[in-house]
C-alpha cells in the first residue's frame, strides 16, 4: 500500500523509491572534461554567471584604484592622460555592461527555477548561449587594455570624438564587445520572461509570485524595449567608422545628438534595470530576516511596474545641457521627480516590515541597512539634479559621479552582497562567516562613504569629471585624498569577502540548510527531495 504525504507537505518527507536517487544523479551529473563547456543546467550556468560577473567587478575596481591613486594629490604624473582616459572608459563600461546587469541576471538564472518550483529555465541552451556570448564579448573587450588598444571615449562613447577623432581600433573593440553583451542580455531576458510566465508551479498565480520574480519579469521586459536602441546606435557608429557613412557628423547631414538619444534611451532605463532586481532581492530578504510577512505586497508590485514605466520617460535627463527645447526638458524634469514616488513606496514598505517584525542582525541584514541609507541619500541627490538650474551647474562634475555611485553601489552592490550572504547555503550548504561579514560590511560601508561623499563637495566646487589631474590651491586636495583613502578601504572589504567566499566554496558540500528559517520555496528542500523533485 502506498502512503501519500500529508496535504501541503511538499516536498515529500517519505523515503525515495529504490534506485530513484541513482537515476536522478546519473541524469543530472555535471559534465566533465571538454563537455564542461556544453553545460546547460541553470544551477551550473548561474554559478558561472555570478562568478564571471564578480571577476569583472574586481577587475573594474582595480582600475578605479589606479585612477584614485592618480587623483590623490595635485599635478600627479602616475599615469598619462591617454592611459587615464582608457582607465575611466574601461572602468565605467565594465561596471555597467559586464557587472551590474549580468550579475542580477545571473542570480535570477540560479534562483528563479527554485523560487517558481520549475525544473529548469525554459530554454537551457539559450541560457547557456547567453552566458558564453557574455563571457566571450566581455573577455574580448577587457583584454584590449593589455594590448594598448583600449577605447578612450568614455563608457557612453559620444561621437564625433569616437568617430572622427578616434583613429585607433579602441572604439571598434568597444562596439564589438558591447554588441555581444547586449545580445546576451536580450537572450537572457527572453528566457526570464517565458520562465516567469509559463513555468510556475501549479497554484502559483501572478498574485502569489515572489517579489523577485515580479522584479525580474519587469526588468526583462525593460531589457527587451531598451537594449535594441543601443544595438542600433552601436551599429550606426561602426558603419560610420568603417564605411564613412555620416550618421552623426553634423556638417555632412548627420546629427551627433542622435547618438545621445539612442544611447540614453537605453542608458537611463538601465539604472532601473539594475535597481529593480536588487529591490526584489531586498524585499524577500527583509521579510525573512524580520520574521514577518511583507507589508504592502501589492503596493510594491505596483511600484515596480511604475518604476519600469517612468524609466523610459527620463532618458533626456542626461541631456539637459544638450540644447533640447524648454518643453522637452520640463517634461523630463517632471518625470525625474515622479520616478521617486514608486521608490519611496518601496522604502516605506520595507521600513513598515522592519517595524512590524524583529530584525535578525546578520551579515545580509547589515548590508540591507547600509543599502537603505545610501540609496535614500543617492535618491535625494537625484532629485537635486532633476532641478534644471542645479543640473546646469553640476553637469559633468564630480557631483554627478557621487550621485551615480550612491545610486548604483547603494542601490545594487550592497543588495547583491546581502544576497550572496543570505543565499550562500543553497550553493554548498555552508553559511559565509558572520564574523567576517561584519568586517566586510564595516570596511565597505565606511570606505564607500569616505570615498564618494566628498565628491559631492568637489563637484559643487567645480571639479570636472574625467580629468586626469588638477592644480593645487583649488580646495580639492584634501577631498581627493579622502576619496582615495575611502576607495582603498572599500577595496579591502571586497578583498575580505572574496577570501571568505573562496574559503567557503572549497569546503566539503553538506546537505542544504535553512539557517534563516525562511518560508519561501527555494528553501523547501529536505534530505530526501529537492525543491524541483
List domains and CATH numbers for the chain.
39-523 (1.20.210.10)
- Closest by alpha carbon to 66, among 499, 495, 491? 491
Tell me if 342 sits within 8 A of 307, measured CB to CB. Answer: yes
What integer is the mean pLDDT of 202-220? 94
Burial code of 233-251, b = ≥16 C-beta within 10 A, e = fewer?
A: bbebbbebbeeeebbbbee
In the numeric block, the cell 523533485 is attached to 533
Tell me if 91 sits within 8 A of 60, measured CB to CB. Answer: yes
For 59, 95, 129, 224, 247, the CA distances from 102, given in Å and listed in that order, are: 15, 10, 13, 15, 30
What integer is the mean pLDDT of 226-234? 94
Residue 512, pLDDT score: 62
Residue 146, pLDDT score: 93
Look at residue 444 and tell me whether its pLDDT is greater than 90: yes
Digit-coded pLDDT (tens) for 313-347: 998 888 888 888 888 889 999 999 999 999 999 99
- Residues 112 and 531: their CA atoms lie apart, in Å, by 12
| 3-class secondary structure, 464 | strand
Tell me if 109 sits within 8 A of 51, measured CB to CB. Answer: no
Going by pLDDT thresholds of 50, 70 and 90, the confidence category of residue 481 is: very high
Residue 410's Cβ-count burial label (10 Å; 0-12, 13-18, 19+) is buried
Residue 15, pLDDT score: 74
- Residues 385 and 346: their CA atoms lie apart, in Å, by 22
Digit-coded pLDDT (tens) for 26-70: 766 766 777 777 888 898 899 999 999 999 999 999 999 999 999
Look at residue 7 and tell me whether its pLDDT is greater than 70: no
What integer is the mean pLDDT of 427-440? 92
Residue 2, pLDDT score: 45
Q: What are the φ/ψ torsions at residue 397 (nearest 5 degrees)?
A: -115, 175
Look at residue 251 and tell me whether its pLDDT is greater than 70: yes
- Residues 234 and 246: their CA atoms lie apart, in Å, by 13
Between 108-112, 248-252, 303-307, the lowest mean confidence (pLDDT) is in: 248-252
Neighbours of 296 (CB within 10 A): 17
Residue 427, pLDDT score: 86
Residue 6, pLDDT score: 52
Tell me if 94 sits within 8 A of 155, measured CB to CB. Answer: no
Residue 529, pLDDT score: 55
Digit-coded pLDDT (tens) for 62-115: 999 999 999 999 999 999 999 999 999 999 999 999 999 999 999 999 999 999
Between 12-26, 43-57, 253-267, 421-435, the lowest mean confidence (pLDDT) is in: 12-26
Look at residue 511 and tell me whether its pLDDT is greater than 70: no
What integer is the mean pLDDT of 146-160? 91
Between 150-164, 197-211, 503-517, the lowest mean confidence (pLDDT) is in: 503-517
Reported pTM = 0.92
Q: Which residues have CB under 8 Å from 26's CB, separation 6+?
A: none
- Residues 49 and 142: their CA atoms lie apart, in Å, by 17
Look at residue 1 and tell me whether its pLDDT is greater than 70: no
Look at residue 525 and tell me whether its pLDDT is greater than 90: no
Residue 465, pLDDT score: 92
Look at residue 502 and tell me whether its pLDDT is greater than 50: yes
What integer is the mean pLDDT of 268-293? 94
What integer is the mean pLDDT of 230-251? 92
Query: Across all residues in the chain, what is the average pLDDT?
Result: 91
Residue 222's Cβ-count burial label (10 Å; 0-12, 13-18, 19+) is buried
H/E segment holding residue 528:
none
Amino acid at each position: 500500500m502506498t502512503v501519500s504525504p500529508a496535504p501541503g507537505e511538499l516536498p515529500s518527507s517519505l523515503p525515495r523509491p529504490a534506485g530513484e536517487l541513482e537515476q536522478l544523479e546519473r541524469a543530472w551529473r555535471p559534465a566533465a572534461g571538454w563537455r564542461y563547456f556544453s553545460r546547460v543546467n541553470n544551477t551550473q550556468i548561474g554559478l558561472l554567471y555570478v562568478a564571471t560577473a564578480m571577476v569583472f567587478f574586481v577587475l573594474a575596481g582595480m582600475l578605479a584604484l589606479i585612477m584614485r591613486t592618480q587623483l590623490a594629490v595635485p599635478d600627479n604624473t602616475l599615469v598619462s592622460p591617454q592611459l587615464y582616459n582608457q582607465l575611466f572608459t574601461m572602468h565605467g563600461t565594465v561596471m555597467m555592461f559586464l557587472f551590474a546587469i549580468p550579475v542580477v541576471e545571473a542570480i535570477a538564472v540560479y534562483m528563479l527555477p527554485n523560487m517558481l518550483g520549475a525544473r529548469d529555465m525554459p530554454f537551457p541552451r539559450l541560457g547557456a548561449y547567453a552566458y558564453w556570448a557574455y563571457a566571450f564579448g566581455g573577455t574580448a573587450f577587457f583584454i584590449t587594455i593589455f594590448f594598448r588598444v583600449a577605447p578612450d571615449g568614455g563608457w557612453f562613447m559620444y561621437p564625433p570624438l569616437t568617430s572622427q577623432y578616434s583613429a585607433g581600433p579602441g572604439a571598434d573593440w568597444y562596439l564589438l564587445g558591447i554588441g555581444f553583451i547586449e545580445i546576451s542580455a536580450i537572450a537572457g531576458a527572453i528566457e526570464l520572461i517565458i520562465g516567469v510566465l509559463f513555468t510556475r508551479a501549479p497554484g502559483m498565480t501572478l498574485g502569489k509570485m515572489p517579489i523577485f520574480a515580479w522584479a525580474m519579469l519587469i526588468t526583462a521586459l525593460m531589457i527587451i524595449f531598451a537594449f535594441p536602441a543601443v544595438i542600433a546606435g552601436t551599429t550606426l557608429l561602426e558603419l560610420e567608422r568603417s564605411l564613412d557613412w555620416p550618421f552623426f557628423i553634423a556638417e555632412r547631414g548627420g546629427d551627433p545628438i542622435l547618438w545621445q538619444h539612442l544611447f540614453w534611451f537605453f542608458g537611463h532605463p538601465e539604472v532601473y534595470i539594475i535597481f529593480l532586481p536588487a529591490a526584489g532581492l531586498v524585499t524577500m530578504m527583509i521579510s525573512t530576516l524580520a520574521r514577518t510577512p511583507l507589508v504592502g505586497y501589492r503596493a510594491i508590485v505596483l511600484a515596480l511596474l511604475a518604476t519600469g514605466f517612468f524609466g523610459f520617460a527620463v532618458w533626456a535627463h542626461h541631456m539637459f545641457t544638450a540644447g533640447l527645447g524648454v518643453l522637452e526638458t520640463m517634461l523630463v524634469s517632471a518625470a525625474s521627480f515622479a520616478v521617486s514616488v514608486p521608490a519611496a513606496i518601496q522604502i516605506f514598505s520595507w521600513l513598515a516590515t522592519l517595524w512590524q517584525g524583529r530584525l535578525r542582525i546578520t551579515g545580509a541584514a547589515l548590508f540591507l541597512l547600509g543599502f537603505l541609507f545610501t540609496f535614500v541619500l543617492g535618491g535625494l541627490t537625484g532629485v537635486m539634479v532633476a532641478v534644471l538650474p542645479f543640473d546646469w551647474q553640476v553637469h559633468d562634475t564630480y557631483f554627478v559621479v557621487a550621485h551615480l555611485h550612491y545610486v548604483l553601489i547603494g542601490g545594487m552592490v550592497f543588495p547583491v552582497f546581502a544576497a550572496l550572504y543570505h543565499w550562500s547555503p543553497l550553493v554548498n550548504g555552508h553559511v559565509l562567516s558572520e564574523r567576517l561579514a561584519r568586517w566586510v560590511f564595516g570596511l565597505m560601508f565606511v570606505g564607500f562613504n569616505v570615498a564618494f561623499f566628498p565628491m559631492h563637495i568637489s563637484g559643487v566646487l567645480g571639479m570636472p569629471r574625467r580629468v586626469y589631474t588638477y592644480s593645487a590651491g583649488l580646495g580639492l586636495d584634501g577631498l581627493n585624498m579622502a576619496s582615495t583613502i575611502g576607495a582603498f578601504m572599500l577595496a579591502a572589504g571586497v578583498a575580505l569577502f572574496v577570501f571568505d567566499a573562496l574559503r567557503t566554496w572549497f569546503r566539503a558540500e553538506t546537505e542544504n540548510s535553512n539557517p534563516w528559517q525562511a518560508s519561501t520555496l527555494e528553501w523547501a528542500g529536505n534530505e530526501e527531495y529537492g525543491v524541483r523533485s
